[in-house]
Chain A
Amino acid sequence: MTREAAQRCALALAIVCGVAALLGAADAMAQARNPFSVGISEGGGAATGLTGWILAKQNEFERLLSGAVRAVKSDGHAMWALAGVSFAYGVFHAAGPGHGKAVVASYMLANERALRRGLIISFMAAVLQGVVAIAIVGVLALALNATAQKMKDAASFVELASYAGIAALGLYLVVTKGRGLWAAVFAPKAAAAPAVAGDGGRFACEVCEADAAAVACNDPHGLALPGHMHDVNCGHFHAPDPRTLGDNFSWGSAIATVFAAGSRPCSGAILVLVFALAQGVFLAGVGATVAMSLGTAITTGALAAMAVFAKQIALRFIGGTGTRGALIGRAFEFIAACAVFFLGTALLLGSSTGGG
């Protein structure tokens, strides 16, 4: 790929990103909140095949929840059955359509390389989701005896905040990844102009660290990547352990991802908590919600792992070597960053106009 072609390509990508965000936002504005919602907008629409099967399973398990809560009332040992049903519900619910998974997967594609970190992010997001549901019902219904409408309002507010969080995270990723793409595209020029080497070098370095095995970064001199600048930092700042957990830069956006993906509670958790409260066994509802979160964590974790592997494999096959590999890697991350931004904007605008 020539540099001009690459520049045109990058420009086209940026335009596609912007247009997609606008179109998505316009489309989402048509949404309205279901009269019988619990304050959370759930994805809708017909689904067939695997998704259809997943949804049917989710449906089955959610219908079993109320019976299991009732059983706990008369027999404490039924808590295990309730936990089992809740866990299964969590697994299937997380596998169905929903933006939490999309955020985690896109974030993993855009940013993360370390599988362990991905799993921790997924787990934390799922746990946070459960904690938020318990907090909403525990504070509003249990402590304040608030009405369903109050809980709906609270859930809607949390949802709106989480959408804003996704949009902000997306914007942050678009900017950083956009700069990374820019640096990769203009790398040959940058190499001749040391003034920008610091910034550009950092991003190029990230590529190296990212896919040391996949892209031809394993050349110690970086010769396979003409656009890859090894500044002094690169060697000892990133190289010793690319999967270092103490990397502040990544942790900031990782925590943002946990909040963006996990702060919006699931309707099923809110319903089972309120039902358990009505039956006088609120703690059983809390247990069920925790089990649900663990089930959700398993599915999102698997998805995050798939995202990491898919990225590695894709880069290994398509990536090739040299500038082209770096460019494709950058473009890949930029598209994923756009997806997060697009999702957040669409959800935010759709929710703030259609909500209520």
Chain B
Amino acid sequence: MTPLLTGSATAHPHVWIDAKTELIFENGKMTGVRHIWTFDDMYSAFVTQGVGKNPDQPTPDELLPIAKSNMEALPEFDYFTVVQAGGQKAEFATPTEYSMAQTPQRLITLTFTLPLKSPLAFDKSFGFQVFDPSYFVAFTLEKESAIGVRGLAAGCRPKIVPPQALDADDRKKLDESAISGLPPGVDFGMKMAGHVAIVCP
């Protein structure tokens, strides 16, 4: 398994998350992200340890407090989510509709909707990422089928863009940024780590 959006050679994760994501648009503007994160078997066992009356099958009610504490801890990490378009990075409001459940394979799934503070106009520069910059968690979002696009024109579909090598111009910007201390531009993280774009007909 190759965590495409992080680059496996750079990771030393202890937790693996298979991410499924729905990108939600209304009237040509992005309004939110719906995440469904499935944890690996070892971390799932850790999460459910000591939870519930039947330790083999904790119920969503019994798991809800854990989902809640995750929602409280995630803002500090920007929900491991980056959304940007037109040179602007989206800011997120408090998550809604969060829940946690155990699959028949005894894997834990965390589901939540992440509304944008203000809608972000969609254009060709749109990019989406889910990753942990510290690489403690390895997110895999390997297949385009794991990404849904809701509310855009029919035929608009997600496209996974692998990490790109920086060209001379980019490198120059990066050097300048190292000297000036100013960020090199919001799309740099996207270029270096890879991202999800949306292609419309």
A77 → chain B closest CB, angstroms: 22
CA distance A47 to B45 in the complex (A): 29
The interface residues of chain A lying within 8 Å CB-to-CB of B12 are: 42-43, 47, 55, 58-59, 96-97
A274 and B42 in contact (CB under 8 A), knowing A34-B136, A34-B137, A45-B134?
A: yes
- List chain B residues, Cβ under 8 A from A103: none
A267 to B133, CA, bound (A): 18
Are B74 and A35 closer than 8 Å at their CB atoms? Answer: yes
A268 contacts which chain B residues (CB < 8 A)? 14
Given contacts A35-B77, A48-B9, A53-B9, whether A278 and B45 have CB atoms under 8 Å apart is: yes
How close is A31's CB to chain B, nearest CB, in angstroms? 9
Within 8 Å by CB of A145, from B50, B106, B132, lies: B50
What size tier do the contact residues of chain B reach? 35 or more
Known: A147-B49, A149-B69. A34 touches B42 (CB 8 A): no
How many Å lie between the Cα of A277 and that of B44 in the bound state? Answer: 12
Q: Say whether B135 contacts A275, CB under 8 Å.
A: no
- The answer on a CB contact under 8 Å between B45 and A274 is yes
Give min CB distance, B49 to chain A, whole Å: 5
CA distance A271 to B13 in the complex (A): 12
Contact present for B9 and A45 (CB under 8 Å): no
**A5 located at the interface, meaning its Cβ lies under 8 Å from any Cβ of chain B in the complex:** no
**Which residues of A (8-63) have their CB < 8 Å from a CB of B?**
32-38, 42-48, 52-53, 55-56, 58-59, 62-63
Determine the chain B residues whose CB is within 8 A of the CB of A145 once the complex forms. Answer: 49-50, 55
Q: How far is the CA of A316 from the CA of B9 in the complex (A)?
A: 38
What is the chain B residue whose CB lies nearest that of A142? B49
Distance between Cα atoms of A146 and B46 in the complex (Å): 11
- Contact residues of B between 41 and 89, Cβ < 8 Å to A: 41-43, 45-51, 55, 66, 69-70, 73-74, 76-77
Indicate whether A34 sits within 8 Å of B77 (C-beta atoms), given known contacts A44-B134, A47-B10, A59-B8: yes
Interface size on A, residues (CB 8 A): 44
Q: Which residues of A contact B9 (CB under 8 A)?
A: 48, 52-53, 55-56
Pairwise interchain contact B50-A148, C-beta atoms closer than 8 A: yes
Binary per-residue interface labels of chain A (252-291) against chain B in the complex, 1 for a CB within 8 Å, 0 otherwise = 0000000000000001101110110111000000000000
Instruction: Return the chain B residue nearest A67 by Cβ.
Output: B41
Q: How far is the CA of A267 from the CA of B11 in the complex (A)?
A: 15
Contact of A42 among B8, B14, B39 (CB under 8 A): B14
The chain B residues found within 8 Å of chain A, CB to CB, are 1, 7-17, 39-43, 45-51, 55, 66, 69-70, 73-74, 76-77, 106, 132-138
Residues on A facing B (Cβ under 8 Å): 32-38, 42-48, 52-53, 55-56, 58-59, 62-63, 65-66, 96-97, 141, 145-151, 267-268, 270-272, 274-275, 277-279
7 intermolecular pairs with C-beta atoms under 8 Å apart: A44-B134, A44-B136, A45-B134, A56-B9, A151-B49, A274-B42, A275-B46
